[in-house]
Amino acid sequence: MSRYILKRMGMMILTLLLISVLVFFLMHAIPGGPFTAQRELPPEVEAALNEKYNLDASLVEQLIDYLGGLLKGDLGPSIKYPGMRVNDFIREGFPVSGRLGLITILFVLAASIPLGIVAALKNGKWQDVLTMLLATIGVTIPSFVIATLLMYVFSYKLGWLPAFGFDSPLGYILPVIAMGGYAMSFLARLMRSSLLEVMGQDYIRTARAKGLTEYKVVVRHALRNALIPVITILGPTVAALLTGSFVIEKIFALPGMGKHFVTSITNRDYTTILGITIFYATFLVVMIFVVDMFYVLIDPRIKYE
C-alpha cells in the first residue's frame, strides 16, 4: 500500500514537471517578446526590462530558474502589472472562486446523489422519467447559455435575484446553478445507472432474502458499491469547480481566478497565463491522486501492490 502511494506520488510529480516544462517552452515558442507592442520601446528600456525579468539569459537557465521558483511555490512576476506577482493574483482570486466552487460542489452533491438514487429505485416511474429529462437538459445545454437565460429570467424579467456580484448571499444562487448544472446532471445520471446495475447483483438478492429492510439493503449494501464510479468522476469535477469556471465569472462579473486568467490572455501576460495554468494542473493532478486513495477506503476489494 505505502509502496503504491509512493509510486503514485512519484508519477504525480513527474507529470507536473512535464507539464511545467511543456507549458514553459510553449510560452517561449511564441514569436515576439512580451514587450513587443504597437509602439516600439527604446532599445535601452527593452534591454533593462529583459534584464529585470531575466529574459536575456539562455532558455535553459530561465527554465531552471523558473522551476526553482516553482519548488518554493513562487510562480514569478506578472509581466504586464509591475510589482504584482502571479501568486498575488491567485491569492486574490482563488478565495472567491474557491468559495463559489465549494458551495457549488455541496449543491451538486446534495442534489445529484439523492436524485440519482430516487431515479434508480423508481426505475421507469414518473420520478425516473422526470429526473432523466432534467439531467438530459442539464448535460446538453452549455453553461453559458443556462447562465444568460437564468440571468434574463430571474434578474431582468422577474427581478428576484441580483444579476452580478456577491453583495448579498442571494448573488450566489444563479452562478451556483449555472456552474453546477452540468456536473449535477452528469452525476445524477451516473449515480442512477451505477445503482441500477448494483441492484441487479446477487448479493442484493441475498441481503433481501436475509430479511433486511429495504433501507438497509440500499444504504448498507448497494450504495457503497454504486458510489465508486461517482467518486471517479468527482475528483476532476471538484478540481474544475474549485478553480472556477471563468465563463460564469465573466457573465456574473465575479472577481475570481477566471477573471485574472481571461484578462491575462487578452493582455498577453505570459507569466500569469503560465502560472495559473500550472496552478490549475497541479490542483487537478492532486485531486485525481486523492480520489485514487479514496478508492481503497470505500472498496476493500481494490488492492494495490
Binding site for other proteins (CB under 8 A): 11, 14-15, 18-19, 22-23, 26-27, 29-31, 136, 139-142, 144-145, 148-149, 151-152, 156, 193, 196-197, 246-247, 250-251, 261-262, 265-266, 268, 273, 277, 280-281, 284-285
- Residue pair 155/168 in contact by the 8 Å Cβ criterion: no
Least gap, CB of 303 to other proteins (angstroms):
20
C-alpha cell at 79: 509581466
Taking CA atoms, 238 is separated from 79, 108, 111, 149, 294, in Å, by 30, 10, 15, 25, 14
Q: Which helix (H) or strand (E) holds 288?
A: helix 270-298
115/285 with CB nearer other proteins: 285
Least gap, CB of 140 to other proteins (angstroms):
4
C-alpha cell at 136: 438530459
215/263 with CB nearer other proteins: 263
Strand partners, 85: 77
152/160 with CB nearer other proteins: 152
107/270 with CB nearer other proteins: 270
Least gap, CB of 26 to other proteins (angstroms):
5
Q: Which helix (H) or strand (E) holds 247?
A: helix 246-251
How far apart, in whole angstroms, are the C-alpha atoms of residue 243 and residue 239?
6
Least gap, CB of 168 to other proteins (angstroms):
20
How far apart, in whole angstroms, are the C-alpha atoms of residue 8 and residue 203?
33
Least gap, CB of 44 to other proteins (angstroms):
26
26/59 with CB nearer other proteins: 26
Least gap, CB of 111 to other proteins (angstroms):
20
67/106 with CB nearer other proteins: 67
Report phi then psi at 213, rounded to 5: -70, 155
Report phi then psi at 158, rounded to 5: -95, -30
Side chain identity, residue 43? P
